[in-house]
Amino acid sequence: MGNTNDHGTGRRAAAALLPLLLAALTACQSGGGQEPGGGAKATPSATPVFDVRLDDQLSAATRATQAAGTARFTSTLSYGSAKGTAVDRASGEQDYARDLARAGRELTVPRRFPADAAADLGARPGEKPVTESYVVEGNQVDYRTRQGGWLRYSSQASMDVVDLYDGILQRAGDAAPYGGTLAEVVRNADATKQPVKAADGSRTYELTVTPQIAAPALPESLQGPLKYDKGSARIALTVVLDEQGRLRRASADYTPALERMHEEGLLKGVTSLKAEYSLTGLGSTRSPGPAGGGAKAEDAEKALTPLTEVEPGACGSADTGLGGSLLLVRVVPCGTEADLRVFGQVKVNETVQGDPDGVAQRKAGDRCGAKFDSAPRAWVADARPRGTYFTYGAGAASFAYTGPDVDVEGDYTCYVVTSGRL
């Protein structure tokens, strides 16, 4: 599950999923020059899709789609509950030949949606939609901050931080320039029965895939239970190819995977989970331009700071494109741009007997409480809710070879929330 992190008042602790899997970012490139309308020329696939073996047709369809040159896309995840449906939708343009995409994302969570599930999605119920903008080029992803600047994430970053980028680097795809969609699932799926052919020559495939193959279309923070699950029911997948064998639509029902997610404490209260993907304007869509119309993007590795290294009294912003994670923040002037203010850093290094679970978190919470009481008023006056502080960090335990002694240690940050965005 990764490290355990506190994010609560006093002694309240919450577990954060921090998958440390480096994204594979090799892009398939095809296509040719530009048509008068701005789209890349379509390049015919070497072998017609419907002439290859049935179990190879969907991977062949990926190649045929890439050969179209450009396309507009929409990718949607719908999280259903008894109190409404949260919708996460991304849409934009992509150029397969240049391995380039520009996309906007909007996450809408209804007011009565389960709060813990909303937190898993990086939002809170009933608040205005989360909106984000990305430009993906090859193995790098540019994210636009609320202030209009751009942060650049690259798989070539140092090993100290690149594992922490996995959630955003997922947006650099293999099957298409913009990743984290059903295009990645279709690419690796094997059809097992003949598709239904429509009058216009399109084909519809009905099949199922393993949870492992289905995982890449979900946010990285939700993929763990699927990636390592051997026993869950398979995921139903529907794929529609046009008369040329190019991907037009895909949909998948992830509801069977929810039971496993619930066991891991994820998406509690969510009763259905469905994904959709569609492509339009194949070969006729204008190729997207560079980030910010050519504006220089800032290297995220240089721009971001681990929260555990932020100096007491300094303020930070979680507007990083990392899904609300506080592992890395932008140190910013205190004021409207800031989401939090650090008032202390504490270390835990204790020897205890018996069960060490929660010991480091509790001791960190107690020490942060003492620092909160003695902090300069200016550092904590804007706390939301008033008088509330939080701790964030990672604890570890090591057991002695003999005897009941257990060493617990960890680094924790004491902070207050200063905006309504966390």
Residue 412: strand pairing partners: 346, 393
Number of C-beta neighbours around residue 209 at 10 A: 19
Closest Cα to residue 137, out of 81, 183, 94?
94
**Which residue in this structure is represented by tokens 């179990």?**
55
- pLDDT confidence of residue 292: 66
User: With contact defined as beta carbons under 8 Å apart, do 59 and 212 qualify?
Assistant: no
What are 145-170's pLDDT values in tens digits? 998 999 999 999 998 889 899 889 99
- pLDDT confidence of residue 314: 98
The pLDDT averaged over each successive group of 10 residues in the chain (422 residues) is 38 30 33 40 66 97 97 98 98 97 97 96 92 95 93 92 91 97 98 97 97 96 86 90 98 96 96 98 91 78 95 96 90 94 94 81 94 97 95 86 82 94 82
Measure the CA–CA gap between 327 and 122, rounded to whole angstroms: 14
Measure the CA–CA gap between 295 and 304, rounded to whole angstroms: 19
Q: Strands 247-253, 130-137: parallel, antiparallel or unpaired by DSSP?
A: unpaired
Chain centroid offset of residue 200 CA? 37
Closest Cα to residue 94, out of 125, 128, 121, 69?
69
Number of C-beta neighbours around residue 112 at 10 A: 12
Measure the CA–CA gap between 399 and 186, rounded to whole angstroms: 46
What are 118-146's pLDDT values in tens digits? 999 999 999 999 999 999 999 999 999 99
